[in-house]
Amino acid sequence: MGNTACCASTKDEAAASQAAMRGDEAVPALGDAPLAFSAAPGCGPSADPGATGPAEGPAANTYRIVLDKGSGGKLGLDVDYMPERTVLPIMAVTGGLAEAWNKAHSEELQLRKGDSILEVNGKRGDVAEMLERCKNEQVLELTLRRALTYGHLVKELEELVKSKGCGPILVRLSWHDAGVFSTGEEGSGCPNAVMRFTDKGEGAFPANAGLPTVALALLAPISQKFCPELISNADLWALAANVAIRVMGGPDIPTHFGRVDATSSSESVEAQAGRLPEGDGGVAHLRGVFHPKGLNDKAIVALSGAHTVGRCHLERSGFDGPWTEEPLRFDNSYFKEMLAKTYAPETTSKGRLQHRHAGSGTIMLPADLALLQDPAFKKHVDLYAADQSLFFADFADSWVRLQENGCTNLRNIL
């Protein structure tokens, strides 16, 4: 069965108090509370016998330094402390030991704004304990990672979407990770990135064909760099989809964080039936899938509007073709074209029934055309075709609810 607590986030009262003082900035700086520990006034090669340059392979952006605080002074680093994180991002090098270190060492070993401290004297993962060691221990052996911040992460996701044209499959990845949630007979389920495991479960569902291979391969350079130190895979998938929607011209949708990654395929839901919509489903099928997710008829139509981007791949779904004439632009074309075009039924070489517009080659699946068959659905199709801003607003609202179904204690900042 699905992991019912897979999106829970635990924090004690002190951590909650600290988070409240920071507000809801995406990456809140601690300019009024910098680290200012005792440190020796100078440092040079003789003070860092354990320093090493960047590692090779997957850890190519990792480096290690050793600082000795023996005779007092400031460490000279402002860090962005958040108890929910496992790393300490450097917000500024302000002088002291850090500045002296940079003057004495080559660029590949210099501390930079945007780098993150992964480990302090053998301790990693517990940022409160890492800070205590910085305060109380004289010799600091630090392991750091280059460019490990929210801003760097978003920039790399934007570059990926723009360079690879992969926005649609990133949207589908988040959709199918979160879309398994149900309050029906099937049980719960939640977004936990369990598709990383392909031996069984969600990673092997026919509905998820192409996601564990194509989508995760595209994200691999980013996930290897940022997960799990800065972000969980499940949070990354949600963020990647939201960045992709914005880059493709859609609404700017907020991402909330705190999803917990599955550790094996055993944390999958048992089956896709009743959880993920089928392309050949009708009106009753759509309601049967979406209503147990807490999503009403309006939300069904709004979320179907995600088909304004992407295409069907014969080898994955058995369907073939794009829904709209500009499948990398997120707008309301799905609804406009659905109303304006005439589609003829056809059967693909995989035996699937779909409907194609002869002039443009675009398609609609039976589940798409079902939106025109029911008056409660059709009225929203008409509204969204006429008003893109309304579609964006309703889509964003429904999309956030879909992405967060089954999650508890999500937070506004990473």
Residues labelled catalytic? 176, 323
- Classify 324 as helix, strand or coil: coil
- Classify 62 as helix, strand or coil: strand
The residue type of 410 is L
DSSP state of 212: I
Task: Answer left, alpha or beta for residue 122, where phi above 0 means left and psi between -120 and 50 means alpha.
Answer: left
The residue type of 286 is L
Task: Answer left, alpha or beta for residue 125, where phi above 0 means left and psi between -120 and 50 means alpha.
Answer: left
CA distance 89 to 80: 5
CA distance 217 to 154: 18
| Long-range contacts of residues 313-318, Cβ cutoff 8 Å, at least 24 apart | 313/210, 314/348, 314/349, 314/350, 315/209, 316/209, 316/210, 317/209, 317/279, 317/352, 318/348, 318/350, 318/351, 318/352
- Classify 215 as helix, strand or coil: helix
DSSP state of 119: E
Rounding to the nearest 10 degrees, give the CA dihedral for residues 363, 379, 300, 369: -20
Q: What tokens does 301 get?
A: 């139509």
Q: At what angle do helices 216-226 and 233-247 cross, to 10 degrees?
A: 120
